[in-house]
């Protein structure tokens, strides 16, 4: 089973539940193999957006001895659109909204508390409360940036697909930093650009980034605990 995220830190809550973790020499930003609940698993993180996620899946398939995977899980952080979602809540997508299309997907089994519903996947950060409100009106409960890229390959290859996320920003808040403006041409977030934005607005952007880092740690932990308890 392959798990695909944007950043390695999105796996930080899951890795403590794994055994035999080993670095992989894949053409992606970060990749590991491991055992989870006695099952071989692979992790790949390649940056934000559908293009980077699709490249990670392609790299993983090419690296597999027979090119096959039992299933692929798009995972990591997400933004809450439903006002009931709080930081650290786990969201299991039962369908993915890409543009005007709605694609039903598989859902894992777990006794742990979680939310479920439609997740909208788009190649930009939902920056404002107004944008989140509009997306929520379309029927989606959460938003992220990579699932669409993974879904496209799963449809092409006919493989089982899951999407499990954890909330880092909620419906009633906007970002002060323009995350869409700090992305590079390949879609990834640029650390130098983020730091430049923090230096330019130290009283607003700086504290926001510190708070977001704390939230990411909370979300990663709840996500790891949930996935470790899942049956796929």
Q: What is the pLDDT of residues 113-145, one digit of tens each?
A: 999 999 999 999 999 999 999 999 999 999 999
In this prediction, what percent of the chain has a pLDDT beyond 70?
A: 100
Report d(CA 177, CA 88) in Å as an integer. Answer: 21
The rounded mean pLDDT for the chain is 96
The residue-averaged pLDDT of 67-89 equals: 94
Task: Provide the number of structural domains found in the chain.
Answer: 1
Least confident of 63-72, 91-100, 111-120: 63-72
Positive/negative CA dihedral, 230, 140, 96, 218: negative
Is residue 48 over pLDDT 90?
yes
For 214, the domain range is 2-228
Cα–Cα distance measured from residue 221 to residue 2, given in angstroms and rounded to the nearest whole number? 19
Span 91-118, average pLDDT = 96
Measured distance CA(69)–CA(186) in Å, rounded: 26
As a whole number of angstroms, the distance between CA 122 and CA 33 comes to: 28
Calculate mean pLDDT across residues 87-111.
Answer: 96
Question: Which residues lie closer than 8 Å to 100 by C-beta, 6 or more apart?
Answer: none
Give pLDDT, residue 69: 86
Average confidence (pLDDT) over 12-31? 98
Reply yes or no on whether the pLDDT at 183 is more than 80: yes
β-pairing verdict for 72-80 and 142-144: antiparallel
Report the pLDDT averaged over residues 192-205: 92
Whether the per-residue pLDDT at 65 is higher than 80: the answer is: no
CATH number at residue 222: 3.40.50.1580
Number of residues that make up the chain: 232
The pLDDT-based confidence of 67 (bands split at 50, 70, 90) is: low
């Amino acid at each position: 089973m392959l798990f695909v995220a944007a950043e390695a830190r999105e796996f930080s809550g899951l890795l403590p539940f794994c055994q035999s973790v080993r670095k992989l020499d894949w053409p992606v930003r970060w990749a590991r193999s491991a055992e989870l609940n006695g099952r071989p698993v692979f992790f790949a993180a390649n940056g934000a957006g559908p293009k980077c996620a699709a490249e990670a899946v392609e790299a993983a398939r090419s690296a597999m001895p027979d090119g096959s995977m039992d299933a692929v899980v798009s995972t990591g952080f997400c933004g809450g659109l439903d006002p009931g979602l709080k930081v650290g809540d786990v969201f299991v997508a039962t369908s993915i909204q890409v543009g005007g299309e709605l694609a039903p997907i598989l859902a894992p089994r777990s006794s742990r508390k979680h939310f479920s519903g439609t997740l909208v996947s788009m190649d930009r950060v939902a920056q404002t409360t107004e944008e989140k409100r509009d997306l929520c009106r379309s029927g989606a409960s959460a938003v992220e940036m990579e699932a669409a890229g993974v879904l496209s390959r799963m449809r092409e290859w006919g493989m089982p697909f899951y999407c499990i996320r954890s909330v880092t920003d909620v419906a009633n808040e906007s970002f002060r930093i323009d995350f869409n403006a700090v992305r590079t041409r390949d879609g990834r977030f640029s650390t130098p650009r983020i730091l430049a934005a923090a230096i330019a607005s130290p009283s607003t952007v700086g504290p926001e980034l510190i708070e977001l880092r704390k939230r990411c740690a909370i979300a990663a932990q709840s996500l790891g605990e949930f996935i470790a308890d899942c049956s796929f």
